[in-house]
Structure 1
Amino acid sequence: MSTEASTSKRVVAVVGLGGMGGGVAHRLVAAGHDVVVFNRTKEKAAPLVEAGARLADSAADAAAEADVAVVSLSDEEAVEKVVFGEMATRLRPGTTLIEMSTLSPSYTVEAARRLAELGVRRVEACLIGNPQMAKSGDLRVFAAGVEEDVDGVRDLLGALGRQGMLYLGDTGRASALKLSFNLLLGVMTAGLGEAVTLAEQAGIPREMFLTAVQKSGWRSPVLNFRAEFMRTRTYRPAGFRTQLMAKDMRLAAEEARRGGGSLPLTEEAARRFAAVVAGDGGDKDAAVIVELRETAEVRP
């Protein structure tokens, strides 16, 4: 039996069907894999079941079926609850867990150690792109962990990316790369918001300013995407929730300090996003930072 044939018969569990998790699950179903899914809000699983996935009753049940488990959760607290509180003891020794959640590199190294004690392989994946790109297989995909373990799921991760999968090396590097990308996104979004504020204070309409940006050398796919939220002043449904942006900026700043470095721009942007969250803007797109006028001391 060929390697391709044997790997296609593996059961792949996808736990966490938010934007990226749902897109990844759709792509794996379309690629012909046997996919079982679970999400706390079961309604999010309905389109996947229609597409051919099977629905598990719990994260633990999904783990019990899995040869490979893909996890895409919001933060480290959720990983503790779902992976270590529900899934870990149901994952069979030899199973590979692919972690797609955005976590700190320090936590990632410790999580890999804890799973290894249970005989579970852990691969961390950094996905660059958006949910639609995940669904169509147009992401940039980077992975880290034990090279043999990464090679064992190369076909799955390669199906998500237009250039296959790139190996980064040791555990923690994929998490560091993802935080570095999200750091840049957060600083750029906060900067665009402040540019809009200055232009509006001078009497320049928001629409005119954002159109000028999008038709100039300052344009970029990232800024254009955030600019549309700012232009319409409609921040739901979010492309990247402010709560997650604040979390990622905080993690990046903490990780830099842990290594003896400093990220002053990131720390200030983290404070600003945290202020939006404190004002009940956590579920809105991070572009809503343009509406933040108060500069109260809300620390990340």
Structure 2
Amino acid sequence: MRTAPIGVVGLGAMGAGMARALLARGFRVTAFNRTAAKAEPVVRAGATLAATPADAVAAADVLLLSLAGEDAVEQVLFGALGGTLRPGLTVVDTSTVSPAFARDTAKRLAGAGVRRVEACVIGNPRMAASGGLRVFVAGDRADADAVSDVLDALGPDVRYLGGPGNASVLKLALNLLLGVQTAGLAEAVAFVEAMGMDRELLLDAFAGSGWRSPVLAFRADFMRKRAYRPAAFRAALMHKDLRLAAREAADHGVGLPVTERASDRFGALLGGGRGDDDAAAVVELRSAPEPGESPP
């Protein structure tokens, strides 16, 4: 067991869960979150609260990031921590970003002697807290092996996928499938309700059908209850990931028209002030968005 604490920056639903999983495995954790109140459950579980991101990493040899997107990662790594990153530190970045951003960030950190291990996680907050995530890993293999104890604490299925950006590709591909399927299930509900039937009839039939999957069943449960908070996967993050996938694909000459249309639907949720609802709230939209109405 490593003796230095692990710094954790970002205690949203997933970050807090991963911090708890690390604590359960016996790691010491020093954690920072921009909204200090969200850190309280993790502190009660045994973590030390840091006043700043720099304090979280001061005594650590591993920094785990769980941030909302590229802007937040940029601000933390090259803003708040820009003068304190030191050679020998390993950044385990679980944030969902574009493959291009992942590769560029790894290169910039390497210039400062800092290793970046891409660790894209698949699962929900409950799985994060129990150490039950799937972990897609990319970067230098030796760097990943050096933090294998940390990665193993996050979940039993840790897969090394090669060089920087590869884990981000696979994570976005799976989130693309989730977004499109969630929007499709929402439209099936809308169709049934437009025909004068209750959504319960469809969702009950869906539950016993070949179309059921664990992730869609999870979204269907939100739709059945018509309650979308606390979110397991916020609509704002779903929208962000679909846009990242579409943008990266376009940069490589590939169009993703179905993904872009699904992105418009989640964008409409954001436009209605529902970005913090679970992505399943897309079922409550009734008007079709005009192409391009999605917020940037």
Match of 2:245 among 252, 263, 268: 252
The alignment partner of 2:144 has SS state of helix
The SS at the match of 2:159 is strand
Alignment of 1:231-250 (within 5 A): 231-250=224-243
Q: Which of 219, 228, 238 is the aligned partner of 1:226?
A: 219
Contact 1:66 1:91 in 2 (8 A): no
Aligned to 1:295: 288
1:160 matches 2:154: yes
Q: Where does residue 104 of structure 1 map in the other structure?
A: 98
Question: How far apart in 2 are the matches of 1:36 and 1:18?
Answer: 15
User: 2:169 corresponds to which residue?
Assistant: 176
Q: 2:124 pairs with 96, 109, 130, which one?
A: 130
Q: Deviations over 1:64-86 (max 9, x none)?
A: 22210000000111111122110
Kindly state the Cα deviation for residue 55 of structure 1 after the two structures are TM-superposed: 0.8
3-state secondary structure, aligned to 2:40: helix
Moved more, 57-66 or 278-287: 57-66
- C-alpha displacement of 1:296: 3.2
Determine helix, strand or coil for the equivalent of 2:197: coil
Query: What do residues 64-119 of structure 1 show as CA deviations (whole Å, max 9, x unaligned)?
Result: 22210000000111111122110232122110001100000001111111111111
The offset of 1:211, in angstroms, is 1.0
Distance in 1, matches of 2:146 and 2:50, equals 24
The share of aligned pairs that are identical, in percent, is: 56
Structure 2 counterpart of 1:120: 114
Instruction: Name the aligned partner's letter for residue 256 of structure 1.
Output: A
Query: Match for residue 14 of structure 1?
Result: 8
Q: In the TM superposition, what is the alpha-carbon distance from 1:25 to its structure 2 partner?
A: 0.4
- Aligned mates of 2:118, 2:4 — CA distance in 1: 19
User: In the TM superposition, what are the counterparts of 1:1-40 in structure 2 within 5 Å?
Assistant: 5=1, 8-40=2-34
Amino acid at match of 2:31: V
Given that 1:139 and 1:160 are in contact with CA atoms closer than 8 Å, whether structure 2 keeps it comes out as yes
Secondary structure of the structure 1 residue equivalent to 2:63 = strand
Please say if residues 54 and 81 of structure 2, whose CA atoms lie closer than 8 Å, have aligned partners that are also in contact. Answer: yes
Q: Deviations over 1:230-261 (max 9, x none)?
A: 11211111111111100000000011111111
Q: Which runs of 4+ in 1 moved over 4 A?
A: none
**d(CA) in 1 for partners of 2:124, 2:289:** 32
* 2:85 corresponds to: 91
Mapped pair 1:82 → 2:115: no
Contact 1:250 / 1:270 at 8 angstroms: preserved in 2?
yes
Q: State the SS of the aligned residue for 2:156.
A: strand
TM-score (norm 1): 0.95
Report the AA paired with residue 22 of structure 2.
L
Within-5 A mapping of 1:172-211: 172-211=165-204
Between Structure 1 and Structure 2, the one with more helix by share is 1
The CA deviation at 1:54 is 0.7
Which consecutive residues of structure 2, in runs of 5 or more, have no partner in the other structure? none
- Read off the aligned partner of 1:166 and give its amino acid letter: R
Q: Does 1:71 align with 2:65?
A: yes
2:55 matched to 1:54? no
Corresponding pairs, count? 293
With 289-298 and 37-46 compared, the bigger mean Cα shift is at 289-298
3-state secondary structure, aligned to 1:65:
coil
Distance in 1, Cα, partners of 2:48 & 2:229: 29
The answer for the alignment partner of 1:277 in structure 2 is: 270
